[in-house]
Structure 1
Amino acid sequence: MENPLWHPFADMGAVDGDRFVITRGSGSYVWDDAGRRYFDATASLWYANFGHGRPEITQAVTAQLEKLDSYNLFGYYANEPALELASRLSSLAPVPGSKVFLASGGGDVVDTAVKIARAHFVHTGQPEKTHIIGRTQGYHGTHGFGTAVGGIPVNAEGFGPMPSGFSHVAYDSVPALEAEILRVGADRVAAFFCEPVIGAGGVLLPPEGYLEAAVEVCRRYGVLFVADCVIAAFGRLGTWFGIDRWAVRPDMVTTAKGLTGGTIPLAALLVSPEVAAPFFTGSAGAPVLRHGATYAGHPVGCAAALATLDIYEKDGLISRGRELEKPLADALAGAADHPLVAEVRAGLGFLAAVELSAEVLAADPGAPGKLQRLVRDEGVLVRPLGKGIAMSPPLVAGDEELDLLAAAIPAALSRLQG
């Protein structure tokens, strides 16, 4: 009998009997159940920023479990790790004085950001501002609002009607954003959601000046700018939050993944003091945000996050995303010249994508998945993503790992070519 585990984003008919079981990890490497070692060039799912197997996390989690294993944050309840984490994140935030709303994962904080954007305008006398604009190829998780604001059509297929009040614009066009705000009506648009570098949609880099211009358009029309940095934060782009690589002021910043290096599910939404103001008046009868997850601010997760922030600081990992972006691009230069490849996208942060040519994809739509398998055969794990493969190695990776990647991808492409 096959195991009943149902995998996310998986053809279960193909998965059954063909699982790839990871049994342990250390640093930039993981091992399968046959004992073979692989370079984890995806940092699992964009999140193992400091690699695997750090004893500091084990110690922090164990100590917290022995002290306080769990308690909720609803109403006036709090716990020490959550308070400390909120203070620490706020002190690092791109907008001074940001409030911190904790949750269990990236999808949670995306939905939270949609609700807060709409609620902010309700409580500032503009209740008609409810419309949310996303970008084509944008990915914002798989919760209800996140699926709706995401710009990958296949992710919204087969579920019936999506929530109303969402639309999308070309991911690389500021004029398209302004035109959509005017089409909907600036008095009706609440927020624009934007990944600094689009991740799951194909590792799409922003054109020069795009982010600054998009924020300026949002300011001009009174639209909140929400930076989705679930992937981009905690060193992936070489700064604490990713969006702070640019001289812009986001109204909200979503984070998760690298917040604990993936060790414990945890997410944090940073909310500028201006957007949070209606909920923090201190007066009787102030509005209450009737929203939150059971495990928001879980003390064990927060303890893991605090230990993670310590690792980033102690090991100097946050700047690594910028330091390694050129070496990663250089490592992929051999793939860029391969006849099966249409484009290599790299050079902004420690992440990249190799896109296959239109001819290859037309002849075999399953080619990205086949390429992933062939790269795995070379001892390197990458992700099939849209029209090709993507990678986002741990920030602890070095020359040895990049050399493995540089050799594995051209070898796999040649085998795919046949």
Structure 2
Amino acid sequence: MADQPQNPQAQNPLWHPFADMGAVDGDRMVVTRGEGSYVWDDADRRYFDATASLWYANFGHGRPEITRAVTAQLEKLDSYNLFGYYANEPALELASRLSELAPTPGSKVFLGSGGGDVVDTAVKIARAYFANTGRPAKTHVIGRVQGYHGTHGFGTAVGGISVNAQGFGPLLEGFSHIAYDSAAALEAEIERLGADRVAAFFCEPVIGAGGVLLPPEGYIEEVAAICRRHDVLFVADCVIAAFGRLGTWFGIDRWAVQPDLITTAKGLTGGTVPLAALLVAPHVAEPFFTGEPGAPVLRHGPTYSGHPVACAAANATLDIYERDNLIPRGRELEKPLADALADAAVHPLVGEVRAGLGFLAAVELSAETLAADPGAPGRLQRLVRDEGVLVRPVAKGIVVSPPLIAAEPELDLLAAALPKALDRLKS
């Protein structure tokens, strides 16, 4: 009988997203529990979760309110679909609450299982809206270079991180990309294509996975106006930005604009149960809500749309945000976070720190550092982890997006860990 591997993680069949599995296998960090702003590994070592897992643990970990809400819902109704005329109470309550909070009054709410779901839904609804209002040629979708909109079919096509689209063969047609920081580039692309062909423009208020790229002053208002002028739907992808990350309910409502569609997920349940919501402005939803015989039907939707347990978790999450006044903290903490990164910003290995708009930031390594070691962001992540802080390698450096409950002690940990890790990276 062959000897069994000494490490039970080695040769485990679990396939991780966005991972070099040859490097991961046998070298996993197994997270076993979480409480507040911290998580523990299987060696019982504690870490400050400075990325709120994957941008989403906005109120931290281990909230008993969520456990109680999920348990109560499981005991009452564990699951049922929303197709056709079926509904459930938690989904109805959640849709009403989100619509009331939306920056565009009277918005309709379509529920999905994750950000990628509702990005694909947004593309389909944008195209279907024009098809059902006599403009079927308006199908083209414009995204931004370095934009990230999930990994489903439409999301991969509209996303602008080139490496995420490589190796999958031809992508869907009808998509193009512009510079992330130029409103003029958007208008030029619409005019190049012809406004009669363009359905939608996708815009993260702050680009997240592409490297925490902040919008130039006035950019959001200008692209919204350009879309309105050319009858192009403005889709605000707020999967990361919503629920306090930028200090407002949806992130995009930090600016005086009214998007036609808003994608949300992540912070909607604080990551406790997979759930997403697409908010659709009344004029876009109207063709599907007339009640007239033969009115169009949106023949689209995931099995778990409006899952009652997920919606119960979301309603409990909204209660936490409201009761603990967490939503404004994304704005209140943006300067303390920038201050915590001040020492890292002047480190010789660092090219730029991007912070100051919401509770998220990026530490980008210098061009010289990256040229000498293209794998430096991943190495830096591990070195910061050795200091008891979890960060995420993205683009040319690392990013942070701590839970909104983080306070001075946690920011002090981050402030101390990064320079130490950078010194070790230098050596």
Query: TM-score, length-normalised on structure 1?
Result: 1.00
Equivalent residue runs for 1:289-304 within 5 Å:
289-304=298-313
The answer as to 2:44 corresponding to 1:16 is no
Aligned pair partner of 1:116 in 122, 125, 128:
125
Residues 328-383 of structure 1 show CA distances to partners (whole Å, capped at 9, x for unaligned) of 00000000000000000000000000000000101110000000000000000000
Paired residue total: 418
Equivalent residue runs for 1:8-407 within 5 Å:
8-407=17-416
Q: Secondary structure at the match of 1:288?
A: coil
Residues 210-257 of structure 1 show CA distances to partners (whole Å, capped at 9, x for unaligned) of 000000000110000000000000000000000000000100000000
Cα distance in 2 for partners of 1:348, 1:383 equals: 19
Q: Secondary structure at the match of 2:206?
A: coil
Aligned partner letter, 1:157: Q
Cα distance in 2 for partners of 1:360, 1:285 equals: 62
Aligned partner letter, 1:18: D
Aligned partner letter, 1:63: A
Cα distance in 2 for partners of 1:64, 1:140 equals: 31
Cα distance in 1 for partners of 2:150, 2:343 equals: 33
Q: Secondary structure at the match of 2:336?
A: helix
Deviation at 1:171, TM superposition (A): 0.1
Query: TM-score, length-normalised on structure 2?
Result: 0.98
The answer as to 2:11 corresponding to 1:7 is no
Deviation at 1:175, TM superposition (A): 0.6
Cα distance in 1 for partners of 2:55, 2:33 equals: 17
Deviation at 1:282, TM superposition (A): 1.2
Aligned partner letter, 1:12: M
Cα distance in 2 for partners of 1:235, 1:371 equals: 28
Deviation at 1:260, TM superposition (A): 0.1
Cα distance in 2 for partners of 1:274, 1:410 equals: 51
Cα distance in 1 for partners of 2:355, 2:65 equals: 32
% identical aligned pairs: 83
Residues 45-81 of structure 1 show CA distances to partners (whole Å, capped at 9, x for unaligned) of 0000000000000000000000000000000000000
Aligned partner letter, 1:43: A
The structure 1 segments of at least 4 consecutive aligned residues displaced by more than 2 Å after TM superposition are: none
Match of 2:8 in 1: none
Deviation at 1:34, TM superposition (A): 0.2
Cα distance in 1 for partners of 2:192, 2:133 equals: 23
Q: Secondary structure at the match of 2:61?
A: coil
Aligned partner letter, 1:369: G
Aligned partner letter, 1:377: D
Cα distance in 1 for partners of 2:16, 2:49 equals: 19
Q: Secondary structure at the match of 2:34?
A: strand
Q: Secondary structure at the match of 2:213?
A: coil
In structure 2, list runs of 5 or more residues that go unmatched. Answer: 6-10
Aligned pair partner of 2:419 in 406, 410, 414:
410
Cα distance in 1 for partners of 2:323, 2:153 equals: 38
Q: Secondary structure at the match of 1:73?
A: coil
Deviation at 1:151, TM superposition (A): 0.2
Deviation at 1:396, TM superposition (A): 0.2
Q: Secondary structure at the match of 2:258?
A: coil
Q: Secondary structure at the match of 1:109?
A: helix
Cα distance in 1 for partners of 2:280, 2:420 equals: 46
Cα distance in 2 for partners of 1:302, 1:219 equals: 33
Q: Secondary structure at the match of 2:196?
A: coil
Cα distance in 1 for partners of 2:338, 2:283 equals: 39
Cα distance in 2 for partners of 1:348, 1:192 equals: 22
Q: Secondary structure at the match of 1:187?
A: helix
Deviation at 1:284, TM superposition (A): 1.2
Aligned partner letter, 1:84: E
Cα distance in 2 for partners of 1:9, 1:253 equals: 26
